[in-house]
């Protein structure tokens, strides 16, 4: 079996954005538009329209390329997010449409829910569509310490033989040492898999330029990335992750944030 087919059989789009890729896969405590692809409850600090376009090529294989478009709109009663994603190749194709809602209850707690329509095309099986969902929590433990919790599909969903959408939970902490330096940690537990420990660091070198680095324990990957802000409304991020078993995964993300109301 080819690596492309084998890797796809987990049955879930794995692009969490370039910032996540660059910090060892940290996801559930990422704020701003990155929350669109991860834990949407962390979006609540955004007061204007925002969006992003992201792409990754897993292990530099064209067959494992993903593309994601996400938009966020704050409304009177909370925050709404819409994400469209595509992943795969001729033997296996996955597309997903996700609708999310988040609301801030206090500075200590924000909550979110997302509902996903997943469409699969598998040459040896045919087409299948399934629904999935996730719930998220985000808030402050102190002025400098945030937490994020994201639970996706308490039960795994079988798509076809040896292909499934797994359930998982992420628990993350982020500590802001100062305006320039933030440390992230996360524990991820996927059903029927070992616990994955992740560490990430974000450092703002100058006003418009930040660097990211990170590590995760399963299977053992190191990562690095850069972020450059243009005109205060567009941010371009590029990063890569080196998997000690399977090789390099490059990624790029373009973010837009409307500042007209700021």
Query: To the nearest whole number, what is the mean pLDDT of the chain?
Result: 90
pLDDT at 6 over 60: no
259 versus 227: the higher-pLDDT residue is: 227
Q: How far apart are CA 24 and CA 217, in angstroms?
A: 9
> What is the model's pLDDT at position 260?
52
pLDDT at 4 over 60: no
> What is the model's pLDDT at position 232?
83
- Give the model confidence (pLDDT) of 208-217 as tens digits: 999 999 999 9
Answer yes or no: are the C-beta atoms of 150 and 39 closer than 8 Å.
Answer: yes
Confidence category of residue 25, pLDDT binned at 50, 70, 90 = very high
- Give the model confidence (pLDDT) of 61-100 as tens digits: 988 899 999 999 999 999 999 999 998 887 888 999 999 9
Domains of the chain: 3-257 (2.40.160.60)
What does the block give as tokens for 185?
């940690």
Any long-range contacts for 110-116 (C-beta under 8 Å, 24+ apart)? 110/41, 110/42, 110/44, 110/137, 110/138, 110/139, 111/41, 111/135, 111/136, 111/137, 112/39, 112/40, 112/41, 112/43, 112/79, 112/136, 112/137, 112/138, 113/40, 114/40, 114/81
> What is the model's pLDDT at position 192?
83
């Amino acid at each position: 079996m080819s690596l492309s087919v084998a890797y796809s059989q987990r049955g879930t789009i794995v692009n969490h954005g370039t910032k996540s890729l660059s910090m060892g896969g940290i996801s559930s405590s990422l704020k701003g538009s990155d929350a669109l692809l991860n834990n949407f409850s962390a979006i609540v600090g955004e007061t204007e329209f925002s969006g992003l376009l992201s792409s990754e090529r897993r292990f530099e294989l064209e067959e494992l390329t993903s593309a994601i478009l996400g938009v966020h709109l704050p409304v009177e009663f909370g925050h709404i997010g819409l994400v469209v994603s595509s992943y795969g190749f001729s033997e296996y194709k996955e597309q997903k449409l996700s609708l999310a809602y988040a609301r801030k209850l206090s500075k200590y707690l924000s909550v979110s829910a997302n509902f996903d329509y997943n469409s699969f095309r598998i040459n040896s099986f045919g087409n299948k569509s399934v629904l999935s969902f996730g719930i998220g929590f985000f808030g402050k433990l102190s002025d400098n310490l945030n937490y994020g919790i994201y639970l996706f599909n308490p039960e795994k969903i079988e798509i076809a033989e040896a292909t499934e959408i797994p359930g998982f939970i992420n628990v993350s902490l982020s500590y802001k040492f100062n305006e320039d330096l933030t440390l992230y940690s996360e524990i991820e537990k996927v059903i029927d898999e070992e616990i994955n420990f992740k560490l990430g660091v974000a450092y703002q070198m100058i006003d418009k330029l930040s660097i990211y680095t990170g590590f995760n324990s399963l299977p053992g990957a190191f990562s690095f990335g850069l972020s450059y802000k243009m005109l205060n409304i567009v941010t371009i991020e590029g990063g890569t992750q080196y998997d000690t078993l399977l090789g390099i995964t490059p990624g790029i993300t373009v973010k837009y944030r409307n500042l007209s109301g700021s």
